[in-house]
Chain A
Amino acid sequence: MTSSKTIVLRSSDGATFEVDEAVALHSLMIKHRIETGGADSTTIDVPEVTGNTLSKVIEYCKKHVEAPNSDDLKSFDTDFVKVDQAVLCHLAKASYYMNIKGLLDLSSKTIADMFKGKTVEQIRETFHIKNDFTPEEEEELRKENSWNLFV
């Protein structure tokens, strides 16, 4: 009877997305909201996530819920994270807040791999990390780590 029940998800910028309940439940955060929200919870706000990101997240959930055993799931995942850094970070953040383990694993592993084998300067450039050490602190760090990091 309720097999085709749909849920509406609303992003931080007001965009709405209608999805099958089964797909929405892939997010444990949404699952919890539905279970504790009573019969009227057909629209769920997701203020931590923008519309663009939310639509990508929904795409991920759809694929994993509707075809979890398909052969191309791996290649779907690989292609899914071939996006620029900002999008990747947004995806990681969304999967964290919406509690979607598979996507969290995928996105954070992809970001983690971007750190490996890089020098300090390379990492700083890749992610544009702001340096908040004072010059004295920086000097101290360089001295402590000179033999392995700054050679």
Chain B
Amino acid sequence: MGIEDNSEQQLLDVFDMLPDALVFEIFNRVQDAKSLSACAVLCKRFGDLVAQTHNVSLEITRRNTLPELSSGSGSGWDMNKSKGFVGRFILKPIHALFHRIVSRRPKTCSNCCDDDEDNMFRLPNDLLKTFNEIRSLSVKLPGHDGDISPENSSGALLKWKAEFGKELESCVILGATGFHKSEPKPKTVGEPIPPVSVSTHLTNKQLKKRVIWMISCLIASSARHHMLKQIISSNRTIRDVKIIDGSKQGNIQMTEKQVVELRSTMAGELDRTRVPAVTIKMWYMPMLELPGSGGVMKGATLAVIRPTAVAKDDDVWLASGAFEEDFAAEAVRKLIENKKSYTLEMNSF
């Protein structure tokens, strides 16, 4: 009996001997909000330290938020569906519009609509209640994970990265109607790159499709921005925040300066962030080869969206730095080389 007690004692001492500052360091490296919340209920000391953690990352999984959904509608959601999922923060009218435009399976969408909206809307703040001193927050929304799904017959691609202060500051979008990955071709020295002689003229129908892509990205990004506003208004200590999704489709982040700006304008708000009047610069190539990273893109499109009120000419620089993946960066580089580009303007909505 005595010996058992002793070894128990030894086991218990493991965390006891670590100073609070060190446990705090460890919690800042754990970052995952769910694991930290679990730690917070273990003992008082942990509870106090977790509440003070600065760096937190929050992953919202479908299992957490939608226990009542059958797995049938959860799997096999393609890229367009995950966009629709995020768009559900917005007012019902825009909601409906969004679904008409984007969703490929309107029936299944409307079935799970209402539950999702409530759950998704409530959750981020609930999950963050444990933390009082968050400085740096990263939120990961559900998406269908992994690369562009091979089951997705069209192999369509849509990626965006948006920056916000109190309003949209910029949005870079890369899209393609088809993308087939293949082995990267080895670089052969001295082989001249044949000049692009294919017409890059867009038909009305193609143009319309791209405008729809842009609207859906802008809506998705304003929905996330709205989520951000909720989060930063209830977590006064946040300095920088970003929201990404599981399928690496959309990325929105705010730096300290932008967070401060947003905070200062937040009293008495609309239910969603207004998208300001924007000017869009767009590049297009019907067929784009990516020898460096391997693959061919059909209908490749790059768009850089800026508020019309803010004139800036660093679009190229912005686009080049927008996406991390090799294939995306290469596509952006090649599209920009194309001297011909379109300019569009859109009213605010």
Listed in ascending order, the chain A residues whose CB lies under 8 Å from chain B are 85-86, 89-90, 92-93, 96, 104, 108-109, 111-112, 115-120, 123-124, 127-133, 141-142, 145, 147-149, 151
Contacts and interface: CB of A to CB of B under 8 A. Distances in A.
Interface centre among A123, A130, A131, A142, by most chain B C-beta atoms within 10 angstroms, is A130
Given A89-B15, A93-B18, A148-B64, A131 B42 contact: yes
Contacts of A86: 10, 14
Nearest to B15: A127
Given A112-B26, A115-B30, A148-B34, A129 B42 contact: yes
Interface in B1-34: 8, 10-12, 14-15, 17-19, 21-22, 25-27, 29-32, 34
- Interface SS of B by simple majority: helix
Contact of B41 (A92, A108, A118, A120): A120
Contacts of A85: 14
A117 B25 CA distance: 18
Which 8 pairs between the two chains have the least Cβ-Cβ distance?
A112-B29, A128-B11, A112-B30, A120-B38, A129-B42, A108-B26, A115-B35, A96-B22
B44 interface: yes
A35 B218 CA distance: 58
Interface residues of B, number: 34
B30 A120 contact: no
B310 to A, nearest CB: 40
Contacts of B35: 115-118, 123
B300 to A, nearest CB: 38
Contact of A133 (B10, B11, B43, B127): B43
B30 A129 contact: no
A120 B26 contact: no
A127 B19 CA distance: 16
A118 to B, nearest CB: 6
B38 A118 contact: yes
A132 B44 contact: yes
Given A93-B19, A115-B35, A115-B38, 6 more contacts: A93-B22, A108-B25, A116-B32, A116-B35, A142-B41, A149-B37
A92 B15 contact: no
B96 interface: no
A93 B17 contact: yes
